[in-house]
């Protein structure tokens, strides 16, 4: 069966990586990307695939029902990998409305449009809707708590997490009530190529390369479970191809690192790789750029994922260690200035000024 796959948010970080991964692994599948090209969307991420005719790109909003209906019918979509979202916790604190609109309203529209399209085709059992979510829906862990798994109760604590939790509930309800073949995944923090420089890792790398201060919230002891994005894409591929509709899959890197430790590793790696390449950095050692800034309101202390279900059910486990993944990420940002430099717009500078309230000078 030829798969006709709609990837939403495909000009963003994770879905952009997924588009590259899928196009290489399954060249006979038809791939269509729907992306509104918000500040976080970057067509350049997938431009080579668009130019080569390997994928179709549609600029538009997942909340536009008419557009989505036409797109599903025109491209005879059989699978949806739904990743379009507002994704940054800090922006959800300063402006939650877009999170409700896209993450909740947009997911509702996609589910309804896909349900109508699926019913019209006679409810094929082989079709799939993969709703991609986050571990942040589970709340925050104390240092001695066991990691989150598929049975952990939802306890979202930021507007972003609450909007993703709401969309997860919708996705599950559409499976339970209407029998739509929906699967849900909850993943830990990703890192790797094509990551917009508002998130901790790309922000740190770009600030080092520009000789700007590196903002660390609070005491830097918050812990995240970091997963290289390519491993996440392999997990999503496994779930879409072999997952059980109605099931949830927790995906994690088994890599708990504190923010300060992570930033130290990044500083040391940039110093090392820049030396190897004969590249002069504006400030050395890079660790001198670290600044402790006002903490994020309601900052979750620790996230961690127990990924044993997806390992046992689908044979997935991460392949890239954190030291290898960080090295590859640093090398990518050093080699791909032409990807990230155009992102440093006036809007981006204004965002930094608002977010860090002058603490980065």
In the complex, which residues of this chain contact ligand TYD (CB under 6 A)?
A: 89, 189, 199-200, 203, 215-217, 222, 224, 259, 296
Alpha helix segments (H runs only) across 10-62:
13-25, 47-51
Considering 90, 160, 225, 237, which one is annotated as catalytic?
160
Q: What is the CA radius of gyration of the chain?
A: 20
With a CB cutoff of 8 Å and minimum separation 6, the contacts of 323 are 265
Considering 61, 135, 168, 237, which one is annotated as catalytic?
135
x/- map, 161-180, ligand NAD, by CB under 6 A = ---x----------------
Contact 181, 129 (CB under 8 A): yes
Contact 170, 82 (CB under 8 A): no
The interface region with ligand NAD, picked from 22-30, 81-89, 121-129, 142-150 by CB under 6 A, is 81-89
x/- map, 34-63, ligand NAD, by CB under 6 A = xxxxx-xx-------------------xxx
> Rounded to an integer, what distance in angstroms lies between the CA atom of residue 100 and that of residue 114?
20
Quick one: residue 31, left, alpha or beta (phi over 0 = left, psi -120 to 50 = alpha)? beta
Q: Is 104 in the site for ligand NAD (CB under 6 A)?
A: no
**Interface of this chain with ligand NAD, residues 189 to 208, rule: CB under 6 A:** 189-190, 196
Interface pick for ligand NAD out of 141, 187, 208, 263 (rule CB under 6 A): 187
Contact 186, 153 (CB under 8 A): no
For residue 122, the SS3 value is coil
- Taking the least distance from each CB to ligand TYD, the nearer of 171 and 187 is 187
- Distance from the Cα of residue 98 to its chain's centroid: 17
The interface region with ligand NAD, picked from 83-91, 120-128, 210-218, 326-334 by CB under 6 A, is 83-91
For residue 26, the SS3 value is coil
Side-chain-facing half-sphere of 170: CA atoms under 13 Å: 23
Interface pick for ligand NAD out of 19, 72, 84, 233 (rule CB under 6 A): 84
Q: Does the annotation count 230 as an active-site position?
A: no
Q: Is 158 in the site for ligand NAD (CB under 6 A)?
A: no
Pairing of strands 4-8, 248-251: unpaired
Q: Taking the complex as a whole, how short is the minimal distance between the CB of residue 356 and ligand TYD, in angstroms?
A: 7
User: Which sequence positions are flagged as catalytic?
Assistant: 135-136, 160
Interface contacts to ligand NAD, rule CB under 6 A: 8-9, 11-15, 34-38, 40-41, 61-63, 83-87, 102, 106, 132-134, 164, 187, 189-190, 196
């Amino acid at each position: 069966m030829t798969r006709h796959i709609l990837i939403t948010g495909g000009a963003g970080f994770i879905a952009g990586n997924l588009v590259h991964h899928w196009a290489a692994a399954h060249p006979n599948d038809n791939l269509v990307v729907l992306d509104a090209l918000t500040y976080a969307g970057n067509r350049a991420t997938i431009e080579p695939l668009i130019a080569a005719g390997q994928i179709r790109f549609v600029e538009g909003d997942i909340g536009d029902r008419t557009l989505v209906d036409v797109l599903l019918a025109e491209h005879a979509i059989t699978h949806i990998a739904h990743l379009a979202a507002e994704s940054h916790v800090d922006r959800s604190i300063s402006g939650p409305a877009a999170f409700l609109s896209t993450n909740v309203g947009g997911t509702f529209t996609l589910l309804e449009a896909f349900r109508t399209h699926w019913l019209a085709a006679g409810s094929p059992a082989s079709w799939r809707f993969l709703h991609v979510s986050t571990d942040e829906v589970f709340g925050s862990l104390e240092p001695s708590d066991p990691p989150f798994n598929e049975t952990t109760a939802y306890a979202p604590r930021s507007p972003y997490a609450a909007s993703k939790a709401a969309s997860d509930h919708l996705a599950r309800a559409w499976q339970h009530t209407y029998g739509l073949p929906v699967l849900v995944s909850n993943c830990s923090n990703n890192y790797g190529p094509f990551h917009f420089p508002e998130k901790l890792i790309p922000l740190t790398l770009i600030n080092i390369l520009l000789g700007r201060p590196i903002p660390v919230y609070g005491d830097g002891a918050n812990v995240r479970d970091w997963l290289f994005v390519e491993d996440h894409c392999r997990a999503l591929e496994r779930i879409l191809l072999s997952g059980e509709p109605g099931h949830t899959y927790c995906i994690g890197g088994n890599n708990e690192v504190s923010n300060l430790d992570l930033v130290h590793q990044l500083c040391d790696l940039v110093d090392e790789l820049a030396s190897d390449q004969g590249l002069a950095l504006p400030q050395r050692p890079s660790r001198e750029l670290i600044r402790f800034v006002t903490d994020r309101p309601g900052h979750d202390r620790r996230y961690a994922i127990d990924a044993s279900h997806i390992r046992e059910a689908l044979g997935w486990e991460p392949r890239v260690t954190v030291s290898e993944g960080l090295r590859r990420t640093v090398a990518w940002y050093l080699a791909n200035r032409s990807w990230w430099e155009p992102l440093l717009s006036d809007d981006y500078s204004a965002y930094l000024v608002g977010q860090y309230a002058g603490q980065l000078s």
